[in-house]
Structure 1
Amino acid sequence: MSILGKVALVTGAGQGIGRGIALRLARDGADVAIVDVNEEKAQLVAKEVEALGRKATTFIADVGNRDDVRAAIEHAEKTLGGFDIIVNNAGIAQVQALADVTPEEVEKIFRINIQGVLWGIQAAAASFKARGKPGKIINASSIAGHEGYALLGVYSATKFAVRALTQAAAKEYASAGITVNAYCPGVVGTDMWVTIDKRMAEITGANPGETYEKFVNGIALGRAETPDDVASFVSYLAGPDSDYMTGQAPLIDGGLVYR
């Protein structure tokens, strides 16, 4: 079953996993609002969506700002003629020993990775309820939301928090026909992992690429994950085949973490 004619909003859609999700949803029939902090990248993805025959719009927003997130959803509704799906994908990484984490670093990553998801949940649920229609809320967690990793402790904490928000929201909004789920990718070949690998090398003395290779070598399916691998699962969560699923945060990591 498809999402033909649905309207989806994807945060952090200008690159990486977010871009992959936006394009997959478009291929599966959705019109897509591309939300990002980088206007140039957002516009490029919007053109790719339109090349697939779907409508696209862009909105520049800081997901850590509650008003920005609300405005992005209002823009999507007005411009694309509806609103059915939100993918709270935007997030940042942080590689730092717990002993060295600063208050400023904690505030920044919590603001984007936790508050950004919370504001998306709030605004999307309010919109769905006001329209009197069921909707799909889909949040970005991680394998680091199932297992804490050395030097990724605060990042892991944010992704555990996303799972908690997902479960709580699923319970609070079920009566309105709103489902809330998360997806938990592993080692994806994107700019985020380039940054993680670089910082790991700086802290541990490992050679560039060594940390990335170590993680990839632990994947049962024998290769790094791609944005398309993640996007295919997110499309399932966005579609009607997952209508009886809520409050879940499945691992989609090629066989790296088992729960």
Structure 2
Amino acid sequence: MSITGKVALVTGAGQGIGRAIALRLARDGADVALVDINASKINQVAGEIAELGRKATVFVADVSQLDQVVAAVEHTYSTLGGFDIIVNNAGVAQVESLLEVTPEQVDRILRINVQGVLWGIQVAGKKFKSLGQRGKIINACSIAGHEAFALLGVYSATKFAVRALTQAAAKELASDGITVNAYCPGVVGTDMWVEIDQRMADITGAEVGATYKKYVDGIALGRAETPDDVAGFVSYLASPDADYMTGQAPLIDGGMVYR
């Protein structure tokens, strides 16, 4: 079933998985609001969406700040004439031993990965209810939200938190016809994994590229994930085909973590 004519907001839309999600939603018929902290990157994605024949608007925001998320949603509604889907995709990685992580590092990743999702849920839920309509809330989780990994302990904790927020929000908002789900990628070939691999090399002394190869070698389907692999599943969650699904955080990792 189609999402043609729907309006979607995607955070972290300037690169990687967020960019792929925004483009896939546009290809599948949605108009898209692109939200990111980097203006130049979302402007480029907006041009790509325009070439697909769909409308796009851009909004620079820090998702850890509630007032900026409110402003992004209001901009989306006023500019694109509707608001049906939010993809709380923005997030950051962190590679650090639990014995060495600093208060500043913990504060930053919690603000972005957890509060950023929470504010997206809160603001979108209120907007859908004020409009008297159903809506789709879709959150970025991870295989690390199902199984914690060494040197990714705090990152894993933030993704476990996203699963908790997804489940709780699904229960709170179901009576309003609002569904809340998450997606859990594995090893995706993006700049984030370049950073993870480099930091793993710094900490463990492994060669650059060795950590990435180790994880990819453990994928049952035999290759690293692409942003498009994730985007196709997110488009499904955004579509009417997923109307009877809520509170779930499925793994889409090519066969790494099994639940």
Shorter-chain TM-score above 0.5: yes
Q: Who is 2:13 aligned against? A: 13
Tell me, in whole angstroms, the C-alpha distance in 1 between the residues paired with 2:68 and 2:209: 36
Tell me, in whole angstroms, the C-alpha distance in 1 between the residues paired with 2:254 and 2:13: 23
Tell me, in whole angstroms, the C-alpha distance in 2 between the residues paired with 1:233 and 1:250: 10
Tell me, in whole angstroms, the C-alpha distance in 2 between the residues paired with 1:194 and 1:135: 35
Please list, as runs of the form range in 1=range in 2, the aligned pairs for 1:91-240 lying within 5 A after superposition: 91-240=91-240
> Which secondary structure does the structure 1 equivalent of 2:99 belong to?
helix
Measured against aligned partners, the alpha-carbon deviations of 1:203-238 in whole angstroms (never above 9, x if no partner) come to: 000000000000000000000000000000000000
Shift of 1:105: 0.4
Q: Who is 1:257 aligned against? A: 257
> Which secondary structure does the structure 2 equivalent of 1:100 belong to?
coil
Query: How many residue pairs get matched?
Result: 259
Q: Who is 1:76 aligned against? A: 76
Tell me, in whole angstroms, the C-alpha distance in 2 between the residues paired with 1:243 and 1:185: 21
Measured against aligned partners, the alpha-carbon deviations of 1:72-103 in whole angstroms (never above 9, x if no partner) come to: 00000000000000000000000000000000
Unaligned segments of structure 2, at least 5 residues: none
- RMSD value over aligned CA atoms? 0.3
Q: Who is 2:62 aligned against? A: 62
Shift of 1:6: 0.1
**What TM-score, normalized to structure 1?**
1.00
Shift of 1:125: 0.4
Aligned partner letter, 2:222? G
Q: Who is 1:42 aligned against? A: 42
Shift of 1:131: 0.4
Percent of pairs identical after alignment?
A: 77
Q: Who is 1:33 aligned against? A: 33
Tell me, in whole angstroms, the C-alpha distance in 1 between the residues paired with 2:111 and 2:7: 26
Shift of 1:40: 0.2
Which aligned runs of 4 or more in structure 1 are off by greater than 6 angstroms? none
Tell me, in whole angstroms, the C-alpha distance in 1 between the residues paired with 2:49 and 2:116: 24
Q: Does 1:245 align with 2:245?
A: yes
Tell me, in whole angstroms, the C-alpha distance in 2 between the residues paired with 1:212 and 1:68: 35
Unaligned segments of structure 1, at least 5 residues: none
Tell me, in whole angstroms, the C-alpha distance in 2 between the residues paired with 1:98 and 1:2: 45
Measured against aligned partners, the alpha-carbon deviations of 1:157-187 in whole angstroms (never above 9, x if no partner) come to: 0000000000000000000000000000000
